[in-house]
Amino acid sequence: MAAAPVSLSGRFKGSFAYFTIKDRLPQILTRVIDTLHRHKNEFFEKHGEKGVEAEKRAISFLSKLRNELQTDKPMIPLNDELPDTPIWNQYLEYQRNVSNGNGQPSWFQSPWLYVECYMYRRIHEALIHNPPIDDFDPFMEAKIQSFFESQQAIIAVCTYLQELLKNIEDLNENQLKEEFFKLLQVSLWGNRCDLSISAGEDNSQKSSLLQSLNDFKSFILVDDMENLWSLLLNSKKRTTTKESITRVDMILDNAGFELITDLVLANFLSSSKLATEVHFHGKCIPWFVSDTTKHDFNWTLKQLQSANHMWMSRCGMNWEGNLKKGVWVYHDHMFWTLPHEFSSMAQVAPDLYAELQKSSVIIFKGDLNYRKLTGDRKWEFTVPFHQALNKFHPAPLCSIRTLKAEIQVGLKPGQGEQLATSESEWMINGKYGIIQFDASV
Ligand SMILES: O=P(O)(O)OC[C@@]1(O)O[C@H](CO)[C@@H](O)[C@@H]1O
Ligand SMILES: [Mn+2]
């Protein structure tokens, strides 16, 4: 098999990676600094002068980081005491070696995947270094605002689910498949609500997606929903006997509306018995602005339960119940907030790889997960997804992703080129999506 191609990088001027590092990442850093400024009084009320001192130190740390980024300085080792620090610093060494003497790893010369993940880990370091504000999530405000601005869309999907559950036992196989396909697409388009691509600007879901699925269907560039359905249906038929289970793992992406669409899909899988257990995987630290942390996950369930809308609160109660019963399990392994391509998981996080090998199918939500699945490399559009996974095959897997980075594989000959002529920004504007399956064998 040919060697994997080079990584996307800011060294390719004019690329989306270059634009992200030059413009969008500094914007995100500036927004974090502004957020800290705006919380000064809160820090004072909660912690007195110590809180204000800590805020000042964090801001100066982040301003220095922004200058390093904007002037293409070399990456520097982390020096906080977190469990993942040695792994990050080993990775920096690795980047030094692979740059084969072309100078130090730096923001515009190193792989985009590395430098972007590194920025979020340095933001976390800025807070960790400065107790008592070390537990402050600088993206929390934006995630909460996005949740409340998506209320109508959230009510619509929760209502749809509860109506569906009323007679789910009476649905025949075809009706079940149709509903499964609908909720897969809602989860796909929910991925547009991502605050990293908008650099923190409002990106909430204003309208109900359910009425527009047919309009969006032609924007799905790879549609492997049938493969997913067959795998789950065959597994369900086997689970009539007691011992066998159907475990679905969901590698979560954004909090807010997208998380609700993922929980709605999971509820459908459990209630239809297409899955006997669902495992959710979130992030250990605030990540890519809107990615789901354990706090976000629990906050969302509590928010639903206390909502003054019957179906929202019913969902919140049911979902909390599934977690209590162990039908649903929440995990958050540090690997998901490391810079590594997923093809290194077996070496870097063998425990997580072994955990995922128990899955019947792993659903990877979002663009960053797709970039890590395929190594964020300059693959040809027609390279098979299986090849681009570069031997990452813990179990059958499916990527559900709207395109927000210049990487896409598994297309038909000419499909990418045709899209490029009709819409130059097709890979980065989030208008197109994929539901791309790999059987793993
Ligand atoms: O993983 P998600 O939330 O779907 O998207 C993450 C993202 O917004 O951040 C990066 C650009 O800054 C890209 O991977 C993508 O655009
Ligand atoms: Mn995200």
CA distance 367 to 355: 23
Q: Residue 224 falls within a domain, yes or no?
A: yes
pLDDT band at 20 (very low <50, low <70, confident <90, very high): very high
Nearest ligand, CA of residue 404?
Answer: 1
Greatest CA span in the chain, whole angstroms? 66
- In the block, residue with structure tokens 């499964």: 180
Q: What digits encode the pLDDT tens for the residues 349-367?
A: 999 999 999 999 999 999 9
Question: Taking 80 as the threshold, does the pLDDT of residue 79 lie above it?
Answer: yes
Nearest CA to ligand 1 atom 5: 367
Q: Smallest Cα–Cα separation from 204: which of 222, 192, 219, 220?
A: 192
Stated as kind and residue range, the H or E segment containing 148 is helix 140-149
Q: What digits encode the pLDDT tens for the residues 83-112?
A: 999 999 999 999 999 876 677 999 999 999
Quote the ligand 1 centre to 50 CA distance (angstroms): 35
Domain range holding 267?
140-438
Token readout for 388 is 């681009």
Q: What is the pLDDT of residue 16?
A: 98
Q: Residue 418 falls within a domain, yes or no?
A: yes
Question: Taking 90 as the threshold, does the pLDDT of residue 434 lie above it?
Answer: yes
Pairing state of beta strands 247-251 and 277-281? parallel
In 145-274, the DSSP E strands lie at 220-223, 247-251
User: What CATH number does residue 350 fall under?
Assistant: 3.40.50.10880
Q: Smallest Cα–Cα separation from 371: which of 117, 124, 89?
A: 117
Q: Residue 376 falls within a domain, yes or no?
A: yes
Quote the ligand 2 centre to 366 CA distance (angstroms): 6
Nearest ligand, CA of residue 372?
Answer: 1
Number of domains in the chain: 2
Average pLDDT, the chain: 95
Give φ, ψ of 361 to 5 degrees.
Answer: -160, 140
Q: What is the pLDDT of residue 241?
A: 62
Q: Out of 128, 162, 186, pick the residue that ends a domain.
A: 128
Same domain, 122 and 155: no
Burial class (CB in 10 A: 0-12, 13-18, 19+), 93: exposed
Pairing state of beta strands 397-402 and 361-365? parallel
Using the atom order of ligand 1, give the atom closest to the CA of residue 191: 4
Quote the ligand 1 centre to 286 CA distance (angstroms): 14
In 238-321, the DSSP E strands lie at 247-251, 277-281
Cβ < 6 Å from ligand 1: which residues? 20, 24, 116, 191, 194, 196-197, 253-254, 288, 366-368, 371, 404-405
pLDDT band at 113 (very low <50, low <70, confident <90, very high): very high
Same domain, 109 and 224: no
Same domain, 65 and 150: no
Same domain, 22 and 164: no
Q: What digits encode the pLDDT tens for the residues 390-416?
A: 999 999 999 999 999 999 999 999 999
Q: Out of 128, 158, 177, pick the residue that ends a domain.
A: 128
74 vs 200, more confident: 74
Q: What digits encode the pLDDT tens for the residues 238-250?
A: 866 666 899 999 9
Ligand 1: which of 18, 201, 336, 368 to mutate, judged by most atoms within 8 Å of the beta carbon? 368
Q: What is the pLDDT of residue 103?
A: 74
Quote the ligand 2 centre to 44 CA distance (angstroms): 31
Indicate the SS3 state at residue 427.
coil
Ligand 1: which of 16, 107, 123, 197 to mutate, judged by most atoms within 8 Å of the beta carbon? 197
Q: What digits encode the pLDDT tens for the residues 281-322?
A: 999 999 999 999 999 999 999 999 999 999 999 999 999 999
Pairing state of beta strands 361-365 and 247-251? parallel
Same domain, 320 and 412: yes
Contact between 154 and 260 (Cβ < 8 Å)? yes
Q: Residue 1 falls within a domain, yes or no?
A: no
Same domain, 86 and 115: yes
Same domain, 259 and 407: yes
Contact between 279 and 249 (Cβ < 8 Å)? yes
Q: Residue 188 falls within a domain, yes or no?
A: yes
Q: Residue 38 falls within a domain, yes or no?
A: yes
Same domain, 95 and 194: no
Same domain, 82 and 212: no
DSSP assignment letter at 24:
I
Contact between 390 and 5 (Cβ < 8 Å)? no
Quote the ligand 2 centre to 182 CA distance (angstroms): 22
Q: What digits encode the pLDDT tens for the residues 24-57?
A: 999 999 999 999 999 999 999 999 999 999 999 9
Give φ, ψ of 422 to 5 degrees.
Answer: -80, -30
Question: Taking 80 as the threshold, does the pLDDT of residue 268 lie above it?
Answer: yes
User: What CATH number does residue 87 fall under?
Assistant: 1.20.930.60
CA end-to-end span of the chain: 16
CA distance 110 to 10: 7
Q: Out of 128, 156, 184, pick the residue that ends a domain.
A: 128
Cis amide prior to 132 (ω within 30 degrees): yes
Contact between 126 and 65 (Cβ < 8 Å)? yes
Nearest ligand, CA of residue 290?
Answer: 2
Q: What is the pLDDT of residue 276?
A: 96
Same domain, 103 and 183: no
Overall size of the chain counted in residues: 441
Q: Residue 6 falls within a domain, yes or no?
A: no
- Residue-wise DSSP of 303-356: HHHT-SSHHHHHHHHHHHHHHHHTSEEEE--GGGGS---GGGHHHH-HHHHHHH
Residue % of the chain over a pLDDT of 70: 98
What is the arithmetic mean of pLDDT over 162-178? 97
Q: What digits encode the pLDDT tens for the residues 180-190?
A: 999 999 999 99
Indicate the SS3 state at residue 286.
coil
Same domain, 259 and 402: yes
CA distance 431 to 394: 30
Q: Residue 5 falls within a domain, yes or no?
A: no
Same domain, 121 and 164: no
Quote the ligand 1 centre to 437 CA distance (angstroms): 20
